[in-house]
Amino acid sequence: MDLLSKKSLLLLLATPYFLAVGCKPGKVAETTDTDAAKKVYVAPGKHDELYMFASGGFSGQLAAYGIPSGRLLKVIPVFAQDPENGWGYNENTKPMLNTSHGFIPWDDAHHPELSKTNGEDDGRWIFINGNNTPRIARIDLATFKTVEIIELPNSAGNHASPFCTENTEYLVGNTRFSIPEEGKDDVAIDTYKENFQGNVSFVSVDKNTGGMKVAFQIRVPGFNYDLAHAGKGPSGDWMFFTTYNTEQAHTLLEVNASQKDKDFIMALNWRKAEALIKAGKGKKTAATYAHNVLDEKSHQATSTMESSVLVLDVKDHPELIYYMPCPKSPHGVDVTPDGEFMVASGKLAAALPVFSFQKMLKAIENKSFEGKVAGNLNVLKYESVLQGEVKKPGLGPLHTEFDDKGFAYTTMFVSSEIVKWRIKDLEIIDRIPVYYSPGHLSIPGGDSKKPYGKYVVALNKITKDRYLPTGPELTQSAQLIDITGNKMKLLLDFPTIGEPHYAQMIPAEKITKNQVRFYKIEENTNKYVTKSENDARVVRKGNRVDVYMTAIRSHLAPDNIEGVQVGDEVYFHVTNLEQDWDVPHGFAIKGANTAELLVMPGETNTLKWTPDRPGMFPYYCTDFCSALHQEMQGYMRVSPKGSSTPLKYGLGSKIVQK
């Protein structure tokens, strides 16, 4: 018994514990490239190689980053008001956020989509969808300004959007939420199967101006449409959508929409739909939706309420649509650069199916159908359209993009990694952990005909311990990965604005060659422009006071204003007279309950202000413009309502009294 002392007894009892710890399998090591610093370092004064445009997700905005440095270059306000530059606050841009529901200062922006020519990113515009109040915005990449926002009628949850066709003929918007027809929508939710329908919008884009128009809509069965991608090359006439909830559940979707082994990829022949519309088959249907345009000459947005849309019901044209079965609630559907294969990511599936476009055509020709949905829409046989499956790719596949060497890269949300596989034989080549839970990923040109396969960026939803903590609300992140070699190598990890839901990257020179440095004052057609300081003035009409103000280093004209009364509606129309690069002027007045103005050279912006009390109200330039910026200030005297203070204004020795 002496041998079995207390100590040795303890040791003996602890043995299973040590054995268990020793058996714990190691984690996949983080594989940061040893040359990472060199590869992402962009020396001071040097420019990045690429622009990355990442959506801000729930921030409603779009952000431009430099790659490979990951430096944030600009937040472009799109769907959300931005007090920093007055977007959505000033009179010029308020109409941009108008909808059929009135003024909506926010949205959930998901998918930036660069305009394309011949299937390649052309750097002219970038589009982005608003999910919540269905909209598509167009950003002019010469000025990095949102210049157009169009609302989509008969839509809810504009998630499968705004993916574009090869020559940006159309952008699509498909409904994540099926809903009953507008006007007939006061129905019981449990009548989902009878009354709810999906709705694909085709928004045409003018080749020259970029102007958008809801060209037509196609009513489709009431599933949830998740994502989309246009075909290219041979498949260029087709648009592919993923569906989930083909169970058509209306409650507890988490369970009820995950019952079927297969949902669908919906292949839609948009060229045929376009022909039907041209042939007058579209039914003009009442619909109310806003169309907002910012004129870059007048710097003024206008909002027009549209009243109708052309509709095709797919039940009348079943030849437009074919459904391809796809394992378990597919999320992304991505088309290879040659347009031959469609990769669908069944987010709950154990394999990644790759569909062949040629096989799809053959299956349609041979009527290789396995059934019908919604009465008369054909479902193609899985085996007849399948090229093959990538086996055991990882857990929770979501999205795939492609490089220029025949490889595909797929994000795994659940197993938190990117998997590289070969399109030719569907063999997995490499996998790299990312931190944590990537949604989309982005390769420059990775959804186009011409990928530029040097980097992939993982767009991660969760960061936890990756950065210095900032309380419960943490940043989301992007991770830059080198894909030039056989093995993927992590280079950089950088925080982003909002949720970097999806991003597109483009070689910088495609953007820089069109950059506008400032607006030409002689081309300014704003109704309230003041092109010369001599024309700066104050005009009263009833209780409306228009201040025609100019800003130039380092004074505002006029900078003394008297004779304004409580309750007047004061409009400051500030024209920045500078004609030089990077000399904006700001404008703010005490007590203004909107935001400041930030006026670019040659631009006119208007701030509306209703003084609520008599007193002296200083105003000043908010953008540190020059050595005497702090002197760039003025006073507005506000007198009680009905007072006899005469209207008086001026600058220096030039005083005008009315």
Report the chain's C-alpha Rg in angstroms.
29
Beta bridge partners of 224: 244
C-alpha to C-alpha distance for 348 and 153, rounded to whole angstroms: 32
Q: How far is CA 316 from each of CA 160, 221, 242, rounded to the nearest angstrom?
A: 23, 12, 22
Q: How many residues bind another protein (CB under 8 A)?
A: 11
Structure tokens at 602: 């040659």
How many of the other CB atoms lie within 10 Å of CB of 486? 9
Q: How far is CA 519 from each of CA 2, 373, 600, 602, rounded to the nearest angstrom?
A: 95, 55, 7, 5
Q: Does 167 bind another protein (CB under 8 A)?
A: no
In angstroms, what is the minimal distance from the CB of 625 to another protein? 11
Q: Point out which span in 441-449, 474-482, 566-574, 623-631 binds another protein (CB under 8 A).
A: 623-631
Amino acid 178 reads S
In angstroms, what is the minimal distance from the CB of 580 to another protein? 5
Residues 571-590 that bind another protein (CB under 8 A): 578-581
In angstroms, what is the minimal distance from the CB of 577 to another protein? 9
Closer by beta carbon to another protein, 612 or else 631: 631
C-alpha to C-alpha distance for 436 and 314, rounded to whole angstroms: 41
In angstroms, what is the minimal distance from the CB of 583 to another protein? 9
Closer by beta carbon to another protein, 593 or else 653: 653
Structure tokens at 306: 């549209």
Residues 173-212 that bind another protein (CB under 8 A): none
Residues 6+ apart with CB under 8 A from 589: 572, 607, 609, 617, 618, 619, 636
Closest CA to 228 of 286, 164, 290, 292: 164
Q: Point out which span in 157-165, 449-457, 552-560, 643-651 binds another protein (CB under 8 A).
A: 552-560
User: Would you report the helix, strand and coil content of the chain in percent, each value rounded to 5?
Assistant: 15, 45, 40
In angstroms, what is the minimal distance from the CB of 481 to another protein? 34
Closer by beta carbon to another protein, 591 or else 652: 652
6-33 burial, b at 16+ Cβ within 10 Å, e below that, comes to: eeeeeeeeeeeeeeeeeeeeeeeeeeeb
Closer by beta carbon to another protein, 336 or else 530: 530
Residues 629-658 that bind another protein (CB under 8 A): 631
Residues 6+ apart with CB under 8 A from 95: 292, 301, 302, 303
In angstroms, what is the minimal distance from the CB of 507 to another protein? 23
Q: Which of 29, 627, 642, 644 binds another protein (CB under 8 A)?
A: 627
Closer by beta carbon to another protein, 259 or else 534: 534
Residues 211-240 that bind another protein (CB under 8 A): none
Q: Which of 260, 381, 466, 553 binds another protein (CB under 8 A)?
A: 553
In angstroms, what is the minimal distance from the CB of 627 to another protein? 7
Closer by beta carbon to another protein, 206 or else 580: 580
Closest CA to 495 of 519, 526, 532, 467: 467
In angstroms, what is the minimal distance from the CB of 574 to another protein? 17
C-alpha to C-alpha distance for 39 and 50, rounded to whole angstroms: 13
Q: Does 533 bind another protein (CB under 8 A)?
A: no
In angstroms, what is the minimal distance from the CB of 599 to another protein? 16
Amino acid 317 reads H
What track of x and - describes contact with another protein for positions 469 through 508 (by CB under 8 A)?
----------------------------------------
Running DSSP on this structure, what letter comes out for residue 209? Answer: T
Residues 360-389 that bind another protein (CB under 8 A): none
Q: Does 628 bind another protein (CB under 8 A)?
A: yes
Q: Does 552 bind another protein (CB under 8 A)?
A: yes
In angstroms, what is the minimal distance from the CB of 579 to another protein? 6
Closer by beta carbon to another protein, 552 or else 621: 552
In angstroms, what is the minimal distance from the CB of 617 to another protein? 25
Q: Point out which span in 184-192, 242-250, 405-413, 620-628 binds another protein (CB under 8 A).
A: 620-628
Q: Phi/psi at 475 (nearest 5 deg)?
A: -75, 160
Cα–chain center distance at 593:
28
* Contact between residue 141 and residue 128 where contact means Cβ atoms under 8 Å apart: no
Closer by beta carbon to another protein, 293 or else 549: 549
Running DSSP on this structure, what letter comes out for residue 350? Answer: S
* Contact between residue 100 and residue 288 where contact means Cβ atoms under 8 Å apart: yes
- Which parts of this chain interact with another protein (CB under 8 A)? 552-554, 578-581, 626-628, 631
